[in-house]
Amino acid sequence: MVFSFKKIDHVQLAAPKDSENTARKFYSDILGFKEVEKPDVLRRRGGVWFTFGSNQLHIGIEDPFTPAKKAHPAFEVENLEALKQHLTTNEVEFIVDHNLPGANRIYVYDPFGNRIELLEWEE
Mean pLDDT of 16-20: 97
Model-level pTM?
A: 0.93
pLDDT at residue 79 greater than cutoff 90? yes
Judge whether 86 and 68 are in contact, CB under 8 Å: no
Quote the pLDDT of residue 65: 97
CA distance 14 to 58: 8
CA distance 35 to 58: 10
Model pLDDT for residues 86-113, shown as the tens digit of each residue? 999 999 999 999 999 999 999 999 999 9
pLDDT tier at 120, thresholds 50, 70, 90: very high
Quote the pLDDT of residue 91: 97
Q: Tell me the residue length of the chain.
A: 123
Work out the burial of residue 22: count CB atoms within 10 Å of its CB; fewer than 13 is exposed, 13-18 middle, 19 or more buried: middle
Model pLDDT for residues 37-75, shown as the tens digit of each residue? 999 999 999 999 999 999 999 999 999 999 999 999 999
pLDDT at residue 117 greater than cutoff 90? yes
CATH number for the 11-121 domain, one of 3.60.130.10, 2.60.120.580, 3.40.50.10240, 3.10.180.10? Answer: 3.10.180.10
pLDDT tier at 123, thresholds 50, 70, 90: confident
pLDDT at residue 36 greater than cutoff 90? yes
pLDDT at residue 1 greater than cutoff 90? no
